[in-house]
Amino acid sequence: MLINNGRALWLVGFGLAMGMPMAATAQVAAKKPAAAVSMKQASLEARVAYVRRLLRNTPLVDGHNDLPWAMREAAKDPLDVVAYDLRRKTAGMTDIARLRKGMVGGQFWSVYIPGEVRDSGYARIQLEQIDIAKRVIARYPDVFVPAYTAADVRAAYAQGKIGSLLGMEGGHAIENSLGALRAYYELGARYMTLTHNVTLDWADAANDVPRNNGLTAFGKEVVREMNRLGMIVDLAHTSPAVMSQALSVSEAPVIWSHAAARGVTDVPRNVPDSILARLPKNGGVLMMTFVPGFVSQSVANYGAQVTAVRDSIAKRFPNDNDAQFKAVAAWRETHPTPIATIADVADHLDHIKKIAGAAHVGIGGDFDGITETVQGLEDVSTYPTLFAELLKRGWTDTELKGLAGENVLRVLKGAETVSARLRTSRPASTKTIQQLDGRR
């Protein structure tokens, strides 16, 4: 029997290899998707091979990679991108060979700056990080292509290149100025995380003391102006109150560029189920991160325990750093660190799919922004292994394509559509934080 379908032909071959009769294999292939029929029982090697074929037909778009900051920290000259050669295996988690192996077709490069840096204001460092990212993209034109729209990412992918977008991490960089926000958009920033780990004058961070009950009036104006510009609102790092209010204010879909589900791992950085349940109406996407302490409750609990032990030891040995170090090391020897696994990450994705739907998940690994990794997800080459785990759990081709990149590209296109409408009806905002909040 001739089956005129690439996927079905592959299944026939796979079925014969597994000892199934030709007629039975062909009949099953004609009736059901291969992933639904055989991938649950297939070997890891077979599932990874299937994922690689799938990702040749849809771009994998990662929401958050901190390579520009890793390069800054590694270089003697913080603006030297030549010394960090991506054509060789780097000391970090990202290089060209591993990006290719990981089937990456689009990347939001984080142009992160710490919320605690104030040596000359945030703007200088933010501009330098944008400069680093742009020069890295320009240095490897056979690999990276600057991207500003969903169509740009698809065009780059069609050329076998990685569409490269910029994502700002932390609204502190705009220094309470909508004019600065507009300037960053013109420089290529296509999302902004409203906060990093520090609460701002206008927005509360998840890991800091809340002072604003979520978003202030100026904070809501920031969201509206981002909608008008076509810049995606990123709610990673924000408090649940900010998440809720931003969903109410935003006319465009939002993202979490790197986060996880609080219903699986209860830590402040993760997203509550009540927020996830609102994603279908908004159209947004939670891009699943690979931070061990966010994906494994055991790892999170261990981290809290280590902090408590350190505090106790510091009280026992005040002003004696050597004694403190030895005591903590001795404790660690009898209390090994738990290991986060790919199964933990998949549990989060299953949970998000259950609460919000498969159309509202994505990938945001946070590679080169983390010091510890999930077992099996150590660098950018490992994405197909995660997708293989999801195949075993029954995820369909359509769901996997959405997770890979189709969902976040829909969000980017949605932001562009909302912007096109708002730019004709809403002028650029001239509101200041002094006018709206009275903050000086």
* 211, part of any domain: yes
Residues annotated as part of the active site: 64, 66, 169, 196, 237, 258, 366
**What is the mean pLDDT of the segment spanning 242-257?**
98
Flag whether 32 is in a domain.
no
Average pLDDT over residues 363-378: 97
Residue 6 lies in a domain: no
- Residue 369, pLDDT > 60, answer yes
User: Residues 6 or more apart from 58 whose CB is under 8 A from it?
Assistant: 105, 401, 404, 405, 406
Domains identified in the chain, total number = 1
Q: Beta 104-110 vs 60-65: how paired, if at all?
A: parallel
pLDDT tens for 72-88 read 998 878 788 888 999 99
Per-residue pLDDT for 3 more than 90?
Answer: no
pLDDT for the residue numbered 37: 53
Is position 224 within any domain?
Answer: yes
Is residue 389 assigned to a domain?
yes
What band does 254 get if pLDDT is binned at 50, 70 and 90? Answer: very high
**What was the pLDDT predicted at 118?**
63
Q: Taking a C-beta distance cutoff of 8 angstroms, is the pair 42, 29 a contact?
A: no
- Which has the minimum average pLDDT: 14-28, 99-113, 321-335, 398-412? 14-28
Which structural domain, as residue segments, surrounds residue 262? Answer: 39-296+339-437
pLDDT of residue 28: 38
104 lies in a domain? yes
pLDDT per position as a tens digit, 268-314: 999 999 999 999 999 999 999 999 999 999 999 998 888 888 888 88
- 334 confidence band (pLDDT: 50, 70, 90): confident
pLDDT of residue 20: 40
Cα–Cα distances (Å) from 266 to 70, 269, 289, 305, in that order, read 28, 9, 15, 15
Read off the DSSP letter of residue 55. Answer: H
In a domain, 326, yes or no: no
Tokens of 252: 């465009």
Strand partners, 65: 109, 367
CA angle 411, 415, 420 (to 5 degrees): 145
CATH number, residue 264:
3.20.20.140
Q: Which residues, 6+ apart, have CB-to-CB distance to 32 below 8 Å?
A: none
Mean pLDDT of the chain: 90
Torsion of CA 55, 57, 63, 66, to 10 degrees: 60
Residue 415, domain member (yes or no): yes
Quick one: average pLDDT of 400-410? 98
* pLDDT, position 98: 98
Distance separating alpha carbons of residues 407 and 389, to the nearest angstrom: 19
Cβ neighbours of 393 (radius 10 Å): 14
Amino acid 313: pLDDT = 84
Q: How far apart are CA 217 and CA 201, in angstroms?
A: 11
Give pTM, 2 decimals. 0.89
Long-range CB pairs of 406-409, under 8 A, 24+ apart, other chains included? 406/58, 407/285, 407/359, 407/360, 407/361, 407/362, 408/61, 408/63, 408/255, 408/285, 408/287, 408/362, 409/59, 409/61, 409/106, 409/150, 409/153, 409/154
